[in-house]
Structure 1
Amino acid sequence: MSDTHAQTVAQVRDTMLPPAPPPRRETGAIHWLRENLFSGWLNIVLTILAIWLVWTVLSGFVPWAWRGIWGAGSLTECRQIRDQLYPAGTSVACWSVISERWQQLIFGFYPPGGYWRPPVALAVFLVAVLPILFTDLPRRLLWLTVAAPFLIFFLLWGGTIWGPLTMALGVVLGGVVWLTGRRTGSPLVTLVATILVPLLFWMFLAKPLAAELAQLAPWGLPRVASKDFGGFTLSVVIGLSAICLSLPLGVLLALGRRSDMFFISKIAIAYIELIRGVPLIVWLFTAQLLLNYFLPRGTNFDLMLRVIIMATLFAAAYIAEVVRGGLAALPKGQYEAADALGLDYWQAMRLIVLPQALKISIPGIVNTFIGLFKDTTLVAFIGMYDPIGLATAIRASTDWQGIYWEIYVFIALVFFIFCFAMSRYSIWLERRLERSHR
């Protein structure tokens, strides 16, 4: 009878159970809290301490900021309004200093009639870098990327339109020399000619040609001197200029340091170690005080241009080390594969090695960019009115003497927006490249 029962009763279920939801502890907010905040005793202790710290800070800051006063014309008037609205001893933010001086903090001493020009220049820059940052966009937009530096210079500094156009003509001449030399001459001679022809044109022909054209058709915008730049306009111009210029220079320095050619390698090593061994503030003082001693007598070298050059050279040394780390992280087989394909040095670097090395180096490069953008506040020590320098000048005025936190909170918030945007783009790019790699 037992044999008959064994033959008639199935040992394996032949019907599916109805679907059931997962346990509530394994989904949703409860699962996230258990995994991220309360996964162990150490994590629980750190979570409780962090909550206590955040509460301690926000419990004082949020009411202070929320009760802020926006409609006063001075700190004294702000305190009078506070005494009328709140009990004695209540801490209240005086945001009126921002509503009264926000234009100065953003534009510095830029002419009020031209306040539209820096935002338009920033918008042109953002549109110009979109084809580089997002490769899905049409490649024909790269023409705007090429033209953007000259248009931005024209918008910010003004003058006749012929100055930027003659500078662009020098770039066109360099491009013609490069395309012609690639077909007929040696690569080294072509590279040297491509660099020398625009430089000679800019040194000897661009300025007289622009002056003659300005006599015929004086089209342009009111000229703005570099000393009138200030606030976030100054920080953004210096920061973005140094970021855009330091990346290609840093890549070249990294390749030079790893080069098999003795003199190129040693020069790159000496440059990188010298720049990295000296603080940026020292190089800024060098740009302000010492650089003119090495120039011909009577040369007027714009201070902002000197600062941009020094910031670019400084950041390039750090980027070179970051990229060198990415190059060193690549397996030797990648270089051998490029040799097996018959690629020359520059083809191998452009098509195989650098794309992978730069992908590895993205976090370090963006970290250097963020540090460089924040370091633009150091120009306050050489007499330039960045947001920190303007904050000091505002606090020294009779109307706002004694105010502190409100200005610095505003400055910190704006810097945070810029730096957070760069950080989030870096994270997005890393994830995108990881997906494309798979």
Structure 2
Amino acid sequence: MSDTAFHRRQAEMLPSRPAPAGQTGAVGWMRANLFSSPFNILLTLISLFLLWSIIPPAFDWAFFDAEFVGTSRDDCVGGAGACWAWIDQRIDQFVYGFYPAESRWRVNLAVLLLIPALAWVLIEKAPGARYGRWFALFYPVIATLLLVGGLGLEEVTTDKFGGFMLNLVAGLAGIVLSLPIGILLALGRRSKLPVVRVVSVTFIEVIRGVPLITLLFVAIVILNLFLPQNVSLDQLARVMIMVTLFASAYIAEVIRGGLQAIPAGQYEAAQAMGLGYWKMMRLIILPQALKISIPGIVNTFIGLFKDTTLVIIIGLFDILGQARLLQTNPEWIGEVDHETYVLASVFFFVICFSMSRYSIGLEKRLDTSGR
């Protein structure tokens, strides 16, 4: 009998035993990650001390010592904690901005329809996805009609847009439009056609070399000089165009990195199968490049969503603008300097963290290294 067979036979005869208690479960995890060496033990103790110094006082300020009921700053004067009494009176302003109160059901409906539109695009094997993706394709038109008006709905000018609704509109529009434009720019930069390559490279380098705030000033002040006298673009539309173009340039570079990571054999194999350029890109190259580029693309989207706060420079008050506006309100001045920023931060964190977690899940789902 060989040694391998002998040891296998012995293993079959011996009863299986559980792993040592100190190597599994919470205790094993802490030993491996928090107390694996003297240096890690020191870092763990310092981290625990810092958390103990920060978290309890923060909870006392935000919850236990806070004021939740009141109608003006006088109800919060002298309190040791946060003043949240303004929320029940001003939360609509934070969410809807100056959108007419009688038409806010249109905003609610647009957000409600956004949930299935995103689900049919982002969730694999979602029920009814075959037809749901058509709904997702037409959702931007439906949302525009609901928010701006038309087809029997009263028109609402974009200067009434504000609060978190404005961030959501500008951010989603930029995300949806910048990805396909970025893909085309990335392909154009790698094109063998000199004119296409030069135009793509020039656009990308010019946009990436200029701060976004400068481009927004160009959109508001200078763009009118190049338009016919009888043509005028809505201010919010101009800002969304510039934000989209700005994000497209960065996404193009991210996707170009993914394209360069594809082995030359993939191109040669696709060409050997008789696939044309666009079929090769659509079926073979781009799916692999986009999978590689997921972290960079999502990082660009998160940055784009946070950059929507720059709409303040054209006189529109997003959620951050509403926070600043409330701080100057005579009824609450001097008592909500921190609280309004905290609430705005929570809104941004929820959206950006959700995008980050979805990208991690998508990477795991598309990972083929272990298959």
When normalised by structure 2's length, the TM-score is: 0.93
The answer to whether structure 1 residue 72 and structure 2 residue 70 are counterparts is yes
Q: Which of 111, 114, 122 in structure 1 is aligned with 2:111?
A: 122
1:424 aligns with 2:322: no
Question: 1:15, 1:416 → 2: CA distance?
Answer: 53
Q: 1:352 aligns with which of 274, 281, 284?
A: 284
Structure 1 contact 335–353 (Cα < 8 Å) conserved: yes
1:102 partnered with 2:34: no
1:18-57 pair list within 5 angstroms? 18-57=15-54
1:155 and 2:155 aligned = no
Q: 1:144 maps to which residue? A: 135
Structure 1 consecutive aligned stretches of length 4 or more whose deviation exceeds 3 Å: 12-15
Secondary structure, aligned partner of 2:333? coil
- C-alpha deviation, 1:38, in angstroms: 1.9
Change in 2 beyond 3 A, CA 1:30/1:267: same
Query: For residue 256 of structure 1, what is the aligned residue in structure 2?
Result: 188
- Paired with 1:326 and 1:343, the residues of 2 have a C-alpha distance of 21
Aligned counterpart for 2:101 among listed residues 109, 112, 117 = 112
1:327 to 239, 245, 259: 259
CA deviation after TM superposition for structure 1 residue 300, in Å: 2.4
The CA deviation at 1:14 is 9.3
How many residues in Structure 1 have an aligned counterpart in Structure 2?
359
> Counterparts of 1:397 and 1:298 in 2: how far apart (Å)?
39
1:331 and 1:13 mapped to 2: Cα distance? 47
Instruction: Identify the match of residue 386 of structure 1 among 293, 302, 318.
Output: 318
Tell me if the contact between 2:235 and 2:314 (Cα under 8 Å) persists in the aligned partners. no
Q: Say if 2:346 is the partner of 1:413.
A: yes
Change (3 A) 1:232 1:16: same
Q: Which has the larger radius of gyration?
A: 1
Q: Distance in 2 between matches of 1:260 and 1:34?
A: 56
- Kindly report the root-mean-square deviation, in angstroms, between the aligned alpha carbons of the 2 structures: 1.7
Match of 1:286 among 201, 206, 218: 218
Deviation at 1:283, TM superposition (A): 0.8
Q: Percent identity?
A: 49
> In structure 2, what is the equivalent of residue 167 of structure 1?
none
- The alpha-carbon distance between structure 1 residues 312 and 437, as it changes in their structure 2 partners (threshold 3 A), is farther
Q: Structure 1 pair 75/285, CA: closer, same or farther in 2 (3 Å)? A: same
- Quote the residue 1:404 is aligned against: 337
Please name the residue that 1:277 is paired with: 209
Give, as a single letter, the amino acid of the residue that structure 2 aligns with 1:69: E
Per-residue CA deviation, residues 88-131 of structure 1 (Å, 9 max, x unaligned), is: xxx21101122221100110000111222222212222312322
Contact kept, 8 Å, 2:98 with 2:162, in 1: the verdict is: yes
Structure 1 residue 295 and structure 2 residue 234: aligned?
no
Does the CA-based 8 Å contact 1:97-1:407 persist in structure 2? no
User: Is the Cα contact below 8 Å between 2:97 and 2:165 reproduced in 1?
Assistant: yes
Distance 2:207 2:92 in 1: 36
Quote how far apart the aligned CAs of 1:267 are: 0.8
Q: Is 1:314 equivalent to 2:246 in the alignment? A: yes
Partner Cα separation in structure 1 for residue 43 and residue 161 of structure 2: 46
Paired residue type of 1:376: T
Distance across 2 between alignment mates of 1:13 and 1:229: 75
Aligned partner letter, 1:418: I
Q: Hey, what's the Cα distance between the residues in 1 that align with 2:178 and 2:204?
A: 13
Could you tell me which runs of 5 or more consecutive residues in structure 2 were left unpaired when the two chains were aligned.
1-8
